[in-house]
Structure 1
Amino acid sequence: MTLPDITRYDTLPKLLELHAAEHGGDIWLREKDLGIWNAYTWAEVARRVRHIALGLTGLGVSRGDVVALLGDNRPEWLMGEVAAHALGGMSLGIYRDALADEVAYLITYADVAVVFAEDEEQVDKLLQLEEKIPTVRHIVYSDPRGIRKYDDPRLVSLESLEEQGRARDAAAPSAYADMVAAGKGDDVAILCTTSGTTSHPKLAMLTGGALLRHCKAYLAMDPRGPDDEYVSVLQMPWIMEQIYAFGQAILSRMKVNFVEEPETMMADMREIGPTFVLFAPRVWEQIAADVRARMMDASALKRAMFHFGMALGLKALERGQRSALADFILFRALRDRLGFTRLKSAATGGAALGPDTFRFFLALGVPMRQLYGQTELLGAYTLHQAADVDFDTVGVPMEGVEIRIDDPDPNGLGEVVTRHPNMFTGYFGNAEETAKSFAEEGWMRTGDAGYFNDKGHLVVIDRIRDMAKTTQGDRFSPQYIENKLKFSPYVAEAVILGDGRESLAAIICIRFSIVSKWAEKQRIAFTTYTDLSAKPEVIALLRKEVEEVNKTLAAKQRVSRFLLLYKELDADDGELTRTRKVRRGVINERYGTIIDAMYQGAKVIDVDTTITFQDGTKQRIKTKLDVVELDTRAGTAATEAKRRAA
């Protein structure tokens, strides 16, 4: 497919107008609502964007103002964001599950004038902030259910906003075209939040022209066109969803589909049959865990067929081949069940995906590719080529991207430093942090440790600050071991400890949905997550899983002890970022007493604490955590022998 001339159509609104003129009757967006897929053509989307933009000008929004968007992935989010760009404003996506204080910080920091809030839940979040968000003049809601009870002059329905826009369009038919024409590719269009693994997220300033140029380079390696289908499930504020659902979609005319609810994602995706998907590692891990969990409920024959087929598939994968027999007896039906039958390409990014999970999907016949990048560098800038996929690497650089390794050790491991023509222009309102991020001549320090292998692929190990070393001087990557543990269907999250300690230990959170199902089948009575994680049978189950992972690790990188945490790690508690990355500093501080007790040889740790839920309610937790000791000198056999001898 020939892409549009982005030197002429250098903003998203200009491209939208082009496609509406040339392909107005073609479907671009779909949304499932009450079980029905509703379609939106290019012309319809362009018309609504036009009216939303003009309606915003009637609210006093002008060039340079910031418009925030808060809610689920919906066509209205996309329309509101492009409308903000059309009038020369900047869009700021806020994660839908962000707490009120996080929302207040971003809104006040960016001096937000108008917020698009999807429904009552998000409107409630904003209204309760009251004087904490003095810059907000208007709150535009799209779902009116439950809003009528409010009497706040800032509230404006999306329907009435579009009506105002239609009236302004009738009064001045050329006003919108003039606004769009005035926009330039060099204008800052998007304020994109960074991960914020150590503090509040920063706001990377991205121009519309840079977004489109980078998407063009991406599409050269992983092409798509008007016949391709994409299902938007990752939260809109994330840079890669901005790349896929906005930049690539408007550039290539790929269809974008929005599921009804996050809970219906897999069923909705099966109905669409996407040709491209992008999931974060946690989603791939959840899908793999769900598949293995379903096999727990299957008949003995089906379980045997599953294990036989997986063994065939993995053996064939080691030879760089596909097993026709495994495809016939297992993989073809499984791909159909997951909605992966039509996939041409599947990507994972945002964090490292464990090699075992990657291998599982490759054997299944899912055309997986790993990508790597940062928000500041417009998301991904390395990617596996279709015929050259190596799950231990993140692929090769895209066209125009330069990568070097600074301060390499004797093995070539050092800091990944990158530059390309389409980088961010700096952090909004933070010149000091902008200066810290750049080295000389426009190179940006990623803060990641990596090296190039013999094939020219980039291998990323971990964050440099997270690379750890024991007191014996043995280096290890916590993230690598954590990902191997999370391949287990019973492990939802894991945190590897050991930096500055004599050995490695782990804090593990069980995957409650699956462990509870296992416990029910074993007729183990339990009440809560805390109760279930403390059951001796569950501890024994997780012991086997950790021992299996230890077999695959070098002796100095094996987990010597672990415990099952009494609660799940939660982004609302600051323990994870909104993209599910572990905030290690928070973990070390919050659970410091438990960690110290583990390393001091405690067999049982008493816990008496209070946790606060998202709705503000509190619960006291009083429990005991068993510390499980493991023999790291060998595998499970040695551990069992030691146990029998005792």
Structure 2
Amino acid sequence: MTRPDGPSAEGRGEPGRTAEGAADTLPKLLVRNARAHPRDVALREKQFGIWRSFTWAEYEARTRAFALGLQRLGLGAGDVIGLIGDNRPDWVMGEIAAHAIGARSLGVYRDALEEEVAYLLEFASAKAVIAEDEEQVDKLLNIGDRLPALRHIIFCDPRGMRKHEDPRLLPVTELVALGEAAHRADPEAWARLVAATRGEEVAILCTTSGTTARPKLAMLTGGAMVRHCAAYLTADPKGPEDEYVSVLPLPWIMEQIYAIGWGLLARMKVNFVEEPETMMADFREIGPTFVLFAPRVWEALAAEVRAKVMDASPLKRRIYEMGTRLGLEALDQGRRSSLADQLVFRALRDRLGFTRLRSAATGGAALGPDTFRFFQAMGVPLRQIYGQTETLGAYTVHRPGEVNQDTVGVAFTDEIETRILDPDPNGLGEIVTRHPNMFAGYFGVAETGDLREGWLHTGDAGYVDKAGHLVVIDRVKDMATTSRGDRFSPQYIENKLKFSPYVAEAVVLGDARPHLAAMICIRFPIVSKWAERNRIAFTTYTDLASRPEVTELLRQEVEKVNATLPAPQRIQDFLLLYKELDADDEELTRTRKVRRGVINEKYGGIIEAMYRGDAAIPVDTTIAFQDGTKQRIRTTLKVVSMRQPIAMAAE
């Protein structure tokens, strides 16, 4: 399949050099690229089924109009400008424009609920928000009374906006018109703004993951962003011929690094899909050379592949199983299987849009080793990265030829220091790190215990292996020990469970308990397809999860995982939850990490009943949906013991 336009004729640049001299802020990098390469494609966006390209000159011109328009509205140095919506060129341009006038950008996740949006914007005293569409504008208007500092709501998509008459509302077309008028009146104003930007000034307020409490706002300077992106590019070089599809949320630090930092430094083309629902189709049209997916996306892709195989003919299933087996065996021997490639993997890479990949990464949380090995066997050049928002995102990565699914690689440069604090006899302790491009502190917080003498205490448990690679086990506070003294990592076992196409989420229990147990959420689209094929009637997620046939199916998956674990770490009891874990219910972070404190509190009664030995646990509760509607759930959760068979319903 052809891409919207061909690759640049230029070779890979020298990304490290771009962080030197005057280009120490994102606006300066944009201006330099627009001057040196005005007609080269910088960004693409798919609209109404057609890819629209932005050259560097167009990228700069619209960003300039945004910046001068914001200045005309009275915004300037030290102000906070929020951005909320899908990944779009206007988001990127709006962020760089905010930096150009000395303001600070604050990205808010598009699916954040009104309470989360209100907290972040109120805490930061945001004076303006660039919102994508009516959905996001409605959130802002509903919480307007809580945001006394908010003076301007700039919306990009005018559909559905005629009914609103709030004086704070301003269409992006009017903002651009203001900026263009300002440029005509003073053609040098933009150049003065950009020249005045300073690398040591805070440019980005980036939300932390918030696994234990409300997210904090890490203050990131423009210079640190540029320098750290340049350091990363020494470990994973990119250039103008590289293609990237921006699909992960732009408020997340790693999407900031790739879609903005790498895009400006390496002039890597950044592509924006039309809608989340068209992501994989648009992804395949571009055929990117680099991709970063969060573990949940890699897991979902692996599950989707196996689900499609289940629907295939017996012959195709046998071919897939043989090809996968050959591929994994070859991977264990440090090579690729050409036969497996011909039988299965070449077609799979094409179907997923991975044919042109030269580099791929996973980060933000741990990826199960089984999923990692599956994609490596497929020929995807997948590597682990590791970092925190406070460290400007990732600072370790696998080097080519040194990929190990059990580690997160080594530091980008010698300037990045990592050590293990208070290691036990096996070398396991808390990971602490420091480098020259760390965050500048938390917004609105005078002191933080996370940063001591320049070292960031990550809260993650890990060790350094014999090859010098960093191995991350779990959060320190989440490392658990049974009442019998057996230590285990819940996250490690959960990732093994999620390799199953039928498991969407899992929470492994057992800290200070006699044995391990698990609460499992089924992957509804795949389990429902399995149920339909097996003529199992059901109505809702809750009804499907309660079916004894589904319970037996999941029991078999748990048995497979148990067979790979030492006896003390095997799951002895499990149940299927009546609902999926949801970030809107604060059970997961926006990056899909389990909030164990919330889980233990919310499902405490169910957990106690499991360990009490109850075979059936009645549930009578109410769940709320995004549209505000509520539904009463009345069901009985069956606790499955791995020591006895399941009684199937009579025909």
CA contact (8 A) 2:548 2:646 kept: no
Secondary structure of residue in 2 paired with 1:112: coil
1:108 Cα offset (Å): 0.6
Q: Which residue of 2 aligns with 1:404?
A: 419
**Pair 1:587 & 2:599 matched:** yes
Name the CA distance, whole Å, in 1 between partners of 2:576 and 2:286: 39
**Pair 1:328 & 2:347 matched:** no
Task: Give the letter aligned to residue 315 of structure 1.
Answer: E
Deviation readout 1:158-178 (Å, 9 max, x if unpaired): 001000001111111111111
Q: Which residue of 2 aligns with 1:426?
A: 441
2:165 to 136, 151, 162: 151
Q: Mind listing any 5+ residue stretches in structure 2 that lack a counterpart?
A: 1-12
Task: Give the letter aligned to residue 478 of structure 2.
Answer: D
1:546 to 554, 558, 574: 558
Name the CA distance, whole Å, in 1 between partners of 2:73 and 2:521: 48
Task: Name whichever of 358-367 and 169-178 sits farther off.
Answer: 169-178
TM-score (norm 2): 0.96
Secondary structure of residue in 2 paired with 1:542: helix
**Pair 1:102 & 2:122 matched:** no
1:616 Cα offset (Å): 1.5
Task: Name whichever of 214-223 and 609-618 sits farther off.
Answer: 609-618
Q: Mind listing any 5+ residue stretches in structure 1 that lack a counterpart?
A: 632-638
Q: Which residue of 2 aligns with 1:120?
A: 134
Task: Give the letter aligned to residue 550 of structure 2.
Answer: V
**Pair 1:162 & 2:172 matched:** no
1:265 Cα offset (Å): 1.0
**Pair 1:44 & 2:58 matched:** yes
1:138 Cα offset (Å): 0.3
2:67 to 27, 30, 53: 53
Deviation readout 1:573-610 (Å, 9 max, x if unpaired): 00000000000000000000000000000000000111
Instruction: Kindly report which structure 2 residues correspond to 1:236-635, keeping only aligned pairs within 5 A, or say none.
Output: 236-399=250-413, 400-432=415-447, 434=448, 436-440=449-453, 442-631=454-643
CA contact (8 A) 2:548 2:647 kept: no
Name the CA distance, whole Å, in 2 between partners of 1:95 and 1:116: 13
TM-score (norm 1): 0.97
CA contact (8 A) 1:15 1:251 kept: yes
Task: Give the letter aligned to residue 435 of structure 2.
Answer: H
Identity, in percent, stands at 67
CA contact (8 A) 1:383 1:398 kept: yes
1:243 Cα offset (Å): 0.4
1:206 to 220, 233, 243: 220
Instruction: Kindly report which structure 2 residues correspond to 1:17-96, keeping only aligned pairs within 5 A, or say none.
Output: 17-96=31-110
Name the CA distance, whole Å, in 1 between partners of 2:20 and 2:50: 35
1:640 Cα offset (Å): 6.7
Name the CA distance, whole Å, in 2 between partners of 1:464 and 1:198: 12
Secondary structure of residue in 2 paired with 1:391: coil
Secondary structure of residue in 2 paired with 1:271: helix
Task: Give the letter aligned to residue 458 of structure 1.
Answer: L
Deviation readout 1:236-295 (Å, 9 max, x if unpaired): 000000000011110000000001111111111110000000000000000000000011
CA contact (8 A) 1:372 1:383 kept: yes
Name the CA distance, whole Å, in 1 between partners of 2:498 and 2:446: 38
Name the CA distance, whole Å, in 2 between partners of 1:446 and 1:642: 46
2:27 to 6, 13, 24: 13
1:623 Cα offset (Å): 0.3
Q: Which residue of 1 aligns with 2:3?
A: none
Secondary structure of residue in 1 paired with 2:127: strand
1:641 Cα offset (Å): 13
Task: Give the letter aligned to residue 200 of structure 2.
Answer: D
CA contact (8 A) 1:279 1:349 kept: yes
Name the CA distance, whole Å, in 2 between partners of 1:6 and 1:92: 26
Task: Give the letter aligned to residue 529 of structure 2.
Answer: K
Name the CA distance, whole Å, in 2 between partners of 1:7 and 1:294: 52
1:92 Cα offset (Å): 0.3
CA contact (8 A) 2:19 2:227 kept: no
Name the CA distance, whole Å, in 2 between partners of 1:31 and 1:616: 32
Q: Which residue of 2 aligns with 1:636?
A: none
Deviation readout 1:6-35 (Å, 9 max, x if unpaired): 331100100100010110000010011111
**Pair 1:176 & 2:190 matched:** yes
Name the CA distance, whole Å, in 1 between partners of 2:65 and 2:451: 40
Q: Which residue of 1 aligns with 2:4?
A: none
1:235 to 222, 243, 249: 249
Name the CA distance, whole Å, in 1 between partners of 2:359 and 2:515: 40
CA contact (8 A) 2:19 2:226 kept: no
CA contact (8 A) 2:522 2:580 kept: yes
Aligned residue pairs, count = 633
Name the CA distance, whole Å, in 2 between partners of 1:140 and 1:73: 16
Secondary structure of residue in 1 paired with 2:271: strand
Secondary structure of residue in 2 paired with 1:593: helix
**Following TM superposition, where does structure 1 have runs of at least 4 consecutive aligned residues deviating by more than 4 angstroms?**
639-643
Deviation readout 1:507-535 (Å, 9 max, x if unpaired): 00000000000000000000000000000
CA RMSD of aligned residues (A): 1.2
1:2 Cα offset (Å): 2.1
CA contact (8 A) 1:6 1:212 kept: no
Name the CA distance, whole Å, in 1 between partners of 2:444 and 2:146: 19
